Amino acid sequence: MQIAVSGGKGGTGKSTVAVNLAIALREYFDLALADLDVEAPNDHILLRVELQNEEPVHMFMPRFDYSKCTKCRKCAEVCEENAIITMKDGTPFLMPTLCSGCRACEIVCPVTGAILEGEKLMGHTYLTETPYGFPLVTGKLLEGEERAMPVVTAAKRRAKTLNKELLLVDTAAGTSNTVSKALEDSKLLIAVTEPTPLGLHDLTLILELAKLMGIEAWVVVNRADIGEKQRVKEIVERYNAEIVGEIPYSEAIIRSYVKGEPIVLTDSKEAGIFRNRAKKIANYLG
C-alpha cells in the first residue's frame, strides 16, 4: 500500500508533514519513507541522518562502433530527443546531455554491435535506517543533470523492493510527470498547501493531477492563519477533496525544523495534530 505527500508549490511544508506523519504512522504500520524530491531531497536532513547505502543510478547511453556502423541514420531518425545528429555521410554523433537513455537507437539499429552499451551516471539512491524504526529511501539527482525521471524511477523501485506494509512517498514540487511518477499507485494523496494566492494556484494543479490519476486527495493547510482560508475551501470542494488538517504558523515547528528534531516527538499541541492525522489515515487505509 502506498500514500503520498505533495502540494504543488515549493516550501509549503511537504517534507515536514511527510517526516512527522511517517513517525506517527509507525504505530499502525510497518513502513518505509521514500524521498522522491530528487532535485532537492531534504527528508534525511529533517530526520538528522546521514545518507547510507549509496547505489549509483546509471542511464544507458549509446556508444557507436564506427567500424560496424553502416551510416543508415535510423538511430538519429528514431531518437525523439534529437540527441543523435548525423554528419553529411550519415556518421552518427551523440549529444549526451539530450540523451534520455531510452535505448530506441539500440533497438532500431540493424547491425549487431554497431551500438554498444555505454552509460552515464545520473544520480544515486540511498537506503538509510532512521532512529525512528523505519527506513528512508532517497533519490538524489547529480548536479548538472537535467533528467529527474531515471532517478525517481530507480528510487521508487528500490523503495518498493523493501515490501513494506505501507510506503509513504514525499514528492517534488510541481505537477510534471516526475511528480505523477512519484504519485503513481498511491491510495491517498496528502496535499500540503498554504492559503496564499500562490499556494492556492499550485494546489489547484496538484488536485487536478490527483483527479486525473484517480487518487483520493486530502488537504493539509499549513500556516493556516496567514491567508485566505475560504478560498482553500472553495477549491477543495470543487475537486471533491477534503481538508483534514490546519497547522497554524508555529515557532515550535520552525524550531524543530531547523534543529532536525521532528515536532511529532514533542509534547506540543502541534504534535497532536500529526498524531491525529496519522490515526485518520490508518483508519482510512484500514
Partner 1 sequence: MQVAIASGKGGVGKSSVAASLIYLLKDEYSLIAVDADADAPNLDLLFGVESWEEEKELIGAKVAKINTGTCVRCGICAERCPYDCIKIVDGNYVVNELTCEGCGVCRLVCPVEGVITLEEVRSGIIRKTTTKYGFPLISAQLDVGRPNSGKLVTEEKEWAKKIMKEENLEHMIIDSAAGIGCQVIASLGGADVAILVAEPTPASLSDVKRVYKVVQHFREPAYLIINKADLNPGFKGLYEFAEAENIPIIGEIPYDKAIPKSMVMLKPVVETFPDSKASIALKEIAEVIKGEILR
The DSSP output letter for 142 is P
**All cell numbers assigned to 56:** 549509483
In whole angstroms, how far apart are CA 254 and each of 10, 47, 101, 221, 268?
16, 14, 41, 16, 13
Q: Which 214-243 residues touch partner 1, going by CB under 8 A?
A: 223, 226-228
Q: Whole-angstrom Cα distance, residue 189 to residue 142?
A: 27
- Residue among 1, 69, 86, 184 that touches partner 1 (CB under 8 A): 184
Whether the Cβ atoms of residue 34 and residue 162 lie closer than 8 Å to each other: no
158 lies in the site for partner 1, by CB under 8 A: no
Burial of 110 (0-12, 13-18, 19+ CB in 10 A): exposed
**Binding partner 1 by CB under 8 A: which of 1, 53, 73, 100?**
100
CA gap 33, 111 in Å, rounded: 45
- Counting contacts by CB under 8 A, is residue 285 touching partner 1? no
Binder to partner 1 among 84, 159, 209, 247 (CB under 8 A)?
209
Question: Considering the rule CB under 8 A, would residue 177 count as an interface residue with partner 1?
Answer: yes
The answer to whether 36 and 172 have CB atoms below 8 angstroms apart is yes
- Binder among 107, 111, 116, 121 for partner 1 (CB under 8 A): 107
- For the four alpha carbons of 39, 243, 187 and 212, in that order, the dihedral sign comes to negative
Restricting to residues 15-74, name those near partner 1 by CB under 8 A.
15, 37, 39-40, 42, 45-46, 60
Residue 212 within binding range of partner 1, rule CB under 8 A: yes
Selected from 178, 186, 250, 256, the binder of partner 1 by CB under 8 A is 178
Residue 205 corresponds to which cell in the numbers above?
494543479
Burial 112-132 (b: 16+ CB within 10 A, else e): eebbeebebebbbbbbbebeb
The smaller minimum CB distance to partner 1, of residues 227 and 245, is found at: 227
Binding partner 1 (rule: CB under 8 A), the pick from 1, 72, 78, 265 is: 78
Residue from 149, 167, 217, 220 that binds partner 1 (CB under 8 A)?
149
Residue of 50, 66, 88, 258 that binds partner 1 (CB under 8 A): 258
Binding site for partner 1 (CB under 8 A): 8-12, 15, 37, 39-40, 42, 45-46, 60, 78, 80-81, 100-104, 107-108, 141, 143-150, 153, 157, 172-181, 184, 196-198, 201-202, 205, 208-209, 212-213, 223, 226-228, 254, 257-258, 260
